[in-house]
Chain A
Amino acid sequence: MNKVYYTKEHEWIKLQDGKGYVGLTDFAQDQLGDIVYVELPEVGTELEVGEAFGVVESVKSASDIFAPVSGEVVAVNEELEDSPELINDDAMENWLIQMSVEDEDDLENLMDEEEYNDFIGEE
């Protein structure tokens, strides 16, 4: 099982085959409610840690999605374009982008599952 890291902005990132899979947390999808639109970046976009790379829109609100680490976008989940509700169905399974992880130290600044659960408990 690969370790999943979490951000304070409610993204997760998981390392697999040398790439970082990035998605929204289940807590985030639950707070947003029914997701109606996802805007994702172009493959090849260079991201800095904390930089907004996309937008997720629900009937309640539109929110930016932020890069958990620095790196380059290597793939986007095109399925979400037509079926944004997949995130509501399973937020951990339906990743948004795959990115290179320039510096694995970036991951050390993120939360693990237990820390994240404590964090959302406080929110």
Chain B
Amino acid sequence: MNDRERILGRVRRALADVPQDDTPYEQAVPRDYLTEHGERSVEQTVDLLAENLADYRAIVHRCTAADLPATLAGMLAARGSKTVLAPPGLDPAWLAAVEADRVADRAETTPHELDRVDSVVTACTVAVAETGTLVLDGSPDQGRRRVTLVPDHHICVVRVPDQVVSSVPRALERLSPTRPLTWISGPSATSDIELDRVEGVHGPRTLEVVLVTA
């Protein structure tokens, strides 16, 4: 008998005493928890996102679509970034005013090469206001998971209010499990020393978020 049969057999024997239960999954779990917490207008939801992002030490900027190229150029210049990586599907207009050298992420690019990139600019798939979370799903304007991980500075552009949802349940509805997903809430952090939060470990130590209105 292989371990698969052994384990499945043990499970069935372990449950032999339990009365037959044919309650379908849909009815087995009460879903009387809230789909979102509190009532907010669209503007208030965006404000809450900004507030919660900042609470976990992300730096939040707001601008209009027309001002986005200038805003991004200004942010990269202020940081002194000499190289900037943009995923292949990022709207080229966004980086039109940027002076830093562009770097592409190719399949053969090594992690060491990514480590030498100063900044990365991406879009996102959805942002969660209640938790201050950005979700990336590897779409062409967000790139491979590694590009938002190895460089030390990540700028993420969120289209508001379209990409903003209130809560975690609302976010999951919009996401596809077949894509590789990364949920980001603030820059990397640790609580491992005396259970006290310190920002900045292995992921980008600086996370800047631009909330852009159409």
- Answer yes or no: are A and B bound together in one complex: no
- Which residues in B have some Cβ–Cβ distance to A below 8 Å? none
